[in-house]
Amino acid sequence: MSRTYIVDNGWEEMVEHERRAMMELAGVSIFLIDLYNTYCDKHYIYMLMELCTGGELYEHLCQQEHKSVSVGAMRFYSGCIFEGISTMHSYNIVYRDLKPENVILDESGYAKLVDYGLAKKTMRTYTVCGTPEYMAPEQVLSRGHDSGVDYWALGVMMYEMITGFTPFVGYDQMEIYGTSCEWWWWWCICVCCFVGCFVGYCWLILESCGCSVF
C-alpha cells in the first residue's frame, strides 16, 4: 500500500486498526486470513498474508447462473463465515464490513474473512461505517452498535447467496438506508428462518474441519 495514497485519503487510523486486528487474530481460526508479517519502506507498507487461490466469494457468485448458489452451498459458506466472525467477537473485535467482496476462498473452497480495515476492538461504538446494503439499522441511525451488526450482515449475505440480490435496494445510498430501517422487523423474521435452515448443517461441516462452534 502506498504511504502517500493512505495519507491523502486519511486512512492512517484505518490501516493501523487493520494491522492490529490481523496481528491479534493471526493463526486463531482457519476461517480468518492469516497475516505472517508486516514491512515498510519510504514509499510503501507491505502485509505478507496467507495465499488463497480460490478468489473472492463475490466473483464466484457472479460466475453462477442468476448470481446465486444452491441452499447447500449457502449453508456451507455461511457456516465458515459464522465461525470466522464468532472468533473475532471472542476477541471483542467487531468486523463491520461483511460482504461477498471481503470473503475469499482457499484452494479447498473454504471461506475466509479478509480486509479488516473497518474492524474495531470495542464492546460498543457509534461510528457510521460499512457498505450500505449490509449495514444494520443501528449503524445507520448512529444509536451505537456492537457485534450484532455482523450477524445482520451475514443474514443479508445468506439472502443474497440464494436469490442473487440483496434485500435492501435503492437508487442511492440514502434510499437504501431508508429501506433497511423501515423493514428491519420483516428482515429479523427472515433471518430467524434462515438460521433455522442452516445451523444444523453448519455443525456437520465445521465439525468435519475439527472446529467447535460453541
φ and ψ of 180, to 5 deg:
-65, -35
Is 97 catalytic? The answer is yes
Of the candidates 97, 115, 146, 172, the residue annotated as catalytic is: 97
Give the three cell numbers for residue 1: 500500500
CA–CA dist 211, 119 (Å, integer): 23
User: Please, which residues have CB within 8 angstroms of residue 207's CB and are 6 or more apart in sequence?
Assistant: none
Report the run of H or E that residue 190 belongs to, with start and end: helix 184-208
Q: Distance (Å, rounded) from C-alpha 56 to C-alpha 38? A: 23
> How far from 30 is each of 94, 126, 157, 208, CA to CA, in Å?
18, 30, 20, 13
Q: Which residues are catalytic?
A: 97
